[in-house]
A and B are shown apart, each in its own frame.
Chain A
């Protein structure tokens, strides 16, 4: 039987080669196997491999599919990618943007500026086509592998069946050379919104399906529109109930039109019909080519739990949001960031298996935040009831002349990393006057240091770090590195980590989230916080 791909590729990144497992004569056992070679799967594998944990990725294609799909990547994602070795390439290729404008009919009713803050290596957002994002990440895999990292991506390895037990999972895999099986101690399911792994375990989703269709048209044109996100409610050009225009690299522009629920997909995907909508928006004299088109619907929902014994779900397989706010791929990368160090610690025997339950707690907290934000945006963009519509229109009407209504205009609240408030890994805040943005559970904001380097570069682990600012460190547990920094000449550090405090000690997790902070701390407190952050003590 000849091999059938489900979709055409943008980039062929990991061609099928026959693996020794297929000729082993017996079922080979792996440590961690990741199903799905998308951004979340590859990031998880790369994170694990860079920590010395062998990671095998199975993907049923040989590379990344066509279509720009996720195009907005947030600062936190780029910081994670930086640690994995591909952040700079993404930023250099991406389009950096800061301003968004929202129009109602012809009039601008609201604008926002992401107000770039000094002292960050990465901008608040870049736009980059998903295939490029994945390509840069796979190139980082190739570099890591060349340096001996235990990582492998197997293209055209399609999982066709699985059996999960208490201590592992057996997978049936199909390849162009025929089937084979392997077993794995741990399985990470990164197989997307339609996760077959989820179906095989008989698990379902809770949440809302939104009854609306959105048409994506990526057009190639040399236009001198500014590098801004433009969103229209009830646009004057009538191409959709709402519309979006946003720039990508290589003169590609993302255009979205809201079509409504009752549509005929085939009719709407007719290029002539799509061009008619675009012509109304851009005017008849603008020349462009259609690069990629698609119609999407979406859900805001998540699994009840992300960890099911030895099977752990991440990214779209575990939770889905509407695209407004760029909270899909960005939250998936944070899943990978959260899971990598924990699973590595468990596999190395440094932490109990129960540490993995905190992945559930923390990432469900994050998923709920993302779902809440993207549901609210969706309710504003596509009101569900006549009253909801009346109030939406009232906000848009008022926003023209009443400043208070402008922040209520909701065309998407952009992705920010979750702060894990209430996480069992946190130690209670003991830094009076400390800034809220660096409270326990928060992701560390970057800062420029005196020698020109960036703070996050010094918090790359592989383990925990004690950050000491003007304080005296206690006697340290074995193997805990200390980063002592001068704050006198660094207002960024003071504003972000001291606030009104004069000195501070921060215990920072391998994923650059704050585990604990104190004005002063002794060896006992530090040891207890470290144990708690590794799931060893309550």
Chain B
């Protein structure tokens, strides 16, 4: 097949380069004149100027556009995005589940969404109660003693957990030097450990895709401060030996950080405290359905064991007999608490917490248990119905995501990337590719509980069809994909070699 024979080549088809609903849209800076504005403001009060010599003397250089121009601009941009609302997003380790609209509505309620962070505490009791309620849900779902609510994202929660571990080790007299991280871990794990002054030592995986206990024993010493273990791991497998791992780590005087990125597989099924966990972040933007928003905002509350809870960062909410307090300073924290510091401005991702609580209350303990059941069922269904055409490196059952390697593409001339790009033309967001690093050319699929059997069946047929096409020797079809998207494959080498990171008048088309 020659590119362009079957699918119309773009942009050749039209005068404008537009393709029906997908309209080319110039940059903001290529539209409008400086004089316009899309906001009508009141006139400033007539008072003497107090800015004097601090005044700006040059124009900012922003274009001035009317409201309809701005609305059309962003509407057209939005139409160039894939989204979970529009289609299936089997992006492994990212938990792209449905984002309930009720949560958006509640986050905008007057008396919640419009509160100022520094109102007197007596005027924000409802907000503090909301934060406290979510904290109670998270502690009960994990069985942990406390939770630091302020981390802004998963990686930020990791940092919080490792800082608490470091503070606890220092309190025992020696911060120690090493954090152990399995080689299958997310890149954020070693980066977070490094930010806390630790060197990172990798632990290899067994041929079953799990932590190699013998290697772990070898690496444990009195210089190890803790281990960071993703569980279920990034191969989508539960670490069966987790309690033995916890015991070994504790016996060495170290702490067990569990990366909770994959908590959606466990929610309502197991209390992680029973696994011997000392700290774990929970991605509210994964397990608790808050929107990813094209890359944030998220939130990463971090649950803590009794050994670490005293070191939780400021601020935190404390319930007294008849009110809620916000503990913002060490003086307020009291003598029993030894907060290691502050992770974030204000009081954390309040709006994200609110959406997460609404999600938890909507599903309840029964619904959350059903959620992990359906998420794991969907992943195993994909695994079962695809493992005869794709290659699965590890035996099932898997947890919430199914891992394949690129063995099935051997000698076809098609790579994992090509295969994924062909899926885009079929109307899907690709699975996670080339991660985890422990298998070759990984394809990691996480369907979540949000997908119907019908959606999965059509997807399975699509993947099987593409696999057959690859095996039939139609490599050119894959190399040319995607063909039907607003842009086709982009030159990332050019972007990195000659960075153009902002618009300037002289580099515009």
Tell whether A pairs with B.
no
B residues whose Cβ falls under 8 Å from a Cβ of A: none
A residues whose Cβ falls under 8 Å from a Cβ of B: none
